[in-house]
Structures are given as structure tokens and as C-alpha cells.
Amino acid sequence: MTPVLIAGPTASGKSALAMAVAARDGGVIVNADALQVYACWQVLTARPTDAETAQAPHRLYGHVGARVPYSTGRWLREVAAEIAAIEDAGQRPIIVGGTGLNFTALTDGLADIPETPPEIRAEGNALMARHGLAWFVEHLRITDPESLSRLDQNNPMRVQRAWEVLQATGRGIAAWHSNTPPPILPLTDCVPIALTPRPEWLNARIAQRFAAMLDQGAVEEVRRWIEAGHDSALPAAKAIGRAEITDWLNGHLTREEVIERGSIATRQYAKRQRTWIRNRFQAWQTLSPEDGLDAALARVPR
């Protein structure tokens, strides 16, 4: 059966649609979210619950340790194997998530850039903490202007990544991308769907969901993170709400302030996701989750 891709901003109903497609078509749901891979976060990243995973098979969720860096390249290798296994079993792959770069790599291809050595990553983190984003932008302006011109220069993660690639390989990230291999799953070979809710509708859901997370176990997840002594520079530490809940547990914020700040951070993230979809997913079918789950499911071909 033709694979289905379901992308969209956080809290837009991606998982519900994926579950509905799986129930109708007998599919297997595969994660495309960069943070839902981490075992330490279930509630905080809205990873599928145990009840949901009992209703339909799920893959690539919660299978990575908190201290393990997890790249788009690794995800691409793992998702390729999952797609092949699911199709060999005669089932439908349903790939769902909010990380636009993963979908772009899957459908457009990804340059085979070597993994960044830990010592260079640590040096990059230290430089970012000491000098900030502007230092990296200026460094790349001198050493790798071609890569810099292709980057979102306001995105610290992407800018630091370009610096790390240059340090580790001696080649700019733009040069690596110029030799990108063919995609694993071209858009012509799948059903690509992007959920595009109105910001007002989505923001209300974000506020409601973030408040609910505090009562459903997110605080306990963060407490375990702190007790384990995990470094805040780890990729897993980027889970939205972790820093705010940490401040609450340390007595620096009230519960109401955590909800307000966590909701704001989530809205900002959702805005970046919507921008990615608008700019990169122009060939995808768009659906409005506001029309209801049944209406969205009806527009997903079997």
C-alpha cells in the first residue's frame, strides 16, 4: 500500500489522523519527530500513550537514550529499514511527525555528511554559550559564505551545525548538499499530507495541552531528568517545557508562569513549523484539522 506522510505543527492532530488511517487501512505508524525518539520524554513530547500503541503498531518511538545524539541521518537510515519491513509485511507505512527536516530528507534526499565528533560538538556548545549566535554567523561569513547564504541565520542549531561540519570535514555543508543522493521516498511514491490549522485554533489547543501535561506526568519526567544529572546541552534537553518545569522545581517560577511560558515557547515552535510547511511543502496536500477527524480521513486515499 502507498505510504502516507502526515506532517503538521505541534498539537494539530497528526497522531489522531495517523491512528485513524492505521485503523482503516491496517497500517504501521512510524515516528518522524526528532524528540519523540527519546525514552525519557513521553508526556512532555506528547509521544503516543501505551493505550494508543496497543491499538496500532508504532515504530521509532522512545527507543533512544537521553544522552545519545540523534541525527536526521540516523533517522533516515532507520526509517528506510522500517518502511521496507512494513511493506514486505503487506502493511501501510504511516510516517507522522512535526520535524520538517526529516520529511524533507526522506522525500528530497540527504547529503551523507559524517557524524560530528563529540569533541567538536562540545567545542561548538561552549562557543555558543560564550559568544552566542552572532559569533558563528560572522565566522561562517568569512570561512564558508556559500553555506551561510543558504541557512536561516536566526536558527542557532542550524548555524552551529554548519560550523561543526566545516570543522569536522574541511568542507562546507553547502558543498556536501551539492552531492545529495536520490531520495528514499519521492513525493510521487507516497501520499504527502500537511495539516494546516489556523493559528487561533491551534494556540487554544496548545495552551490546553501544555497545562494538562503538568498533571499527566511531565513534571515527574523532568524531575527524573534532573536527578539523572543530564546536561542541558544534550539534544534531548530541547524538549519544550523542560527548562520551564526545571525552573518551577527549583522555586524560580510558579505553576501559572510555567504554563504561560511553556505555551508561548510551544506557539513559537509551531509558528516555525508552519513556516517550514508553507515554504517547503508546497507540493503536499493540505488538510484543515478544524474540519474534524472524519473529514480529514476521508481525504486520505486508501
User: Could you state, in order of their start, the residue ranges of all structural domains in the chain?
Assistant: 1-110+186-302, 118-177
Domains 1-110+186-302 and 118-177 share a fold: no
Is 26 annotated in a binding site? The answer is: no
Please tell me whether 263 is known to bind a ligand. no
Task: Give the up-direction half-sphere exposure of residue 11: CA atoms within 13 A in the CB hemisphere.
Answer: 26
Whether 178 has a binding-site annotation, put simply, is: no
In DSSP terms, 95 is beta-bridged to 5, 30
**Does the annotation list 27 as a binding residue?**
no
What sections of 68-117 are H helices per DSSP?
72-88, 100-108
Do 64 and 97 meet the contact criterion of CB atoms below 8 Å apart?
no
**Alpha-helix residue ranges (DSSP H) falling in the chain:** 14-25, 50-55, 72-88, 100-108, 118-131, 133-143, 145-149, 156-169, 173-177, 199-216, 218-227, 242-249, 255-280, 293-298
Q: Check residue 126 and give its pLDDT.
A: 94
Looking at domain 118-177, its CATH class is mainly alpha
**Is 14 labelled a binding residue?**
yes
Q: Is residue 147 a known part of a binding site?
A: no
At the top level of CATH, the class of 1-110+186-302 is alpha beta
Which pLDDT tens digits describe the chain residue by residue (302 residues)? 899 999 999 999 999 999 999 999 999 999 999 999 999 999 999 999 999 999 999 999 999 999 998 989 899 999 999 999 999 999 999 999 999 999 999 999 988 888 889 899 999 999 999 999 999 999 999 999 999 999 989 899 899 999 999 999 999 999 998 888 899 999 999 999 999 999 999 999 999 999 999 999 999 999 999 999 999 989 999 999 999 999 999 999 999 999 999 999 999 999 999 999 999 999 999 999 999 999 999 999 98
The confidence score (pLDDT) of residue 95 equals 98
Whole-Å CA distances, 31 to 9, 15, 28, 226, 259: 14, 10, 10, 26, 26
Known binding residue 45? Answer is: no
Task: Tell me whether residue 232 is annotated as binding.
Answer: no
What's the CA gap between 284 and 272, in Å, rounded? 17
The rounded distance, in Å, linking the Cα atoms of 146 and 141 is 8
What is the residue whose three cell numbers read 513556516?
275
Do residues 17 and 286 make contact, with C-beta atoms less than 8 angstroms apart? no
